[in-house]
Homo-oligomer: A and B are copies of this chain.
Amino acid sequence: MNLVEKKTMSGDLNERLTTGGFRSTPQREHVYSVLLQKRDHPTAEEVFIRTKKTMPDISMATVYNCLDALVKCGLARQVTLDRGATRFCPNMREHCHFYCDSCDTVFDVDLPEKPRPGITLPHGFKAKHYEVAIHGICPECAKKKK
């Protein structure tokens, strides 16, 4: 991450936090930059471990608090696949998730412009938002299996 990226990151972060009624803190900046750095949908625990590298005294409770703040002000999404720990994703474009059953990796998959042409809801149901998870096997693992 170069200086310009850092600047925009911080600027964006700062603005989003304040308009969301939060303060911008060193902890929140670090946690957010960790999310941006490696977009592999880490769990809170993984974010904690990564954040400690640059901020060794941060606590788990704070990581949960920061992630919560980031989600609330629209800078990150929570991703829940089956059981197990919630994962976090800083990609705020509309997208869905591909989960490789073989290596447990989660990939972002872009959605087409037209939202879900197929599904027709019964009368009276109003959909606010769709969540699509695709289970399967990723290219890497498909290659290995052969």
By a beta-carbon cutoff of 8 Å, the part of chain A in contact with chain B is 78, 80-83, 86, 96, 98, 101, 107, 109, 111-112, 114, 116-139, 142
Contact = CB atoms under 8 A, between A and B. Distances in A.
B119 A132 contact: yes
B135 A121 contact: no
Contacts of A128: 101, 135-137
Given A131-B133, A133-B130, A125 B112 contact: no
A92 B124 CA distance: 24
A126 B144 CA distance: 14
B111 A125 contact: no
A118 B121 contact: no
